[in-house]
Amino acid sequence: METLLTEKQLAEKTGFSVRTLQTWRYEGADHAPPYHKIGAAVRYRLSEVETWLDRMEVRTSTSESESGGLHDADGAHGAGGAS
């Protein structure tokens, strides 16, 4: 059987809060990961989450990628060094 993730496990893996995942489901957001309801439980198939993440990939232009390293969600300079 394929690996199923709880919303807490998915939140830990992606960095999104459980509340954000719940809101996306409630709103039917197009950018939300696919999920399954089993009774009252919500589960996410790992393979579907990986496909979803691949679809969310944003490729930057060469000039943007040369401007220096990684940035985290709030725009702060990440692993690439000091800003």
The model scores a pTM over 0.85: no
| Residue 63, pLDDT score | 57
Instruction: Determine the pLDDT at residue 35.
Output: 96
At 78 the pLDDT is 45
When comparing pLDDT for 19 and 71, which is higher? 19
Percentage of the chain modeled with pLDDT above 70: 72
**What is the C-alpha to C-alpha distance for residues 57 and 55, in angstroms, rounded to an integer?**
6
Three-state DSSP string of the chain:
CCCEECHHHHHHHHCCCHHHHHHHHHHCCCCCCCCEEECCEEEEEHHHHHHHHHHCCCCCCHHHHCCCCCECCCCCECCCCCC
Name residue 56's amino acid. Answer: M
Q: Is the pLDDT of residue 75 over 70?
A: no
Residue 46 pLDDT: 96
Residues in CB range of 72: below 8 A, 6 or more apart: 78
Rounded Cα–Cα distance for residues 59 and 70 (Å): 13
At residue 81, the pLDDT reads 46
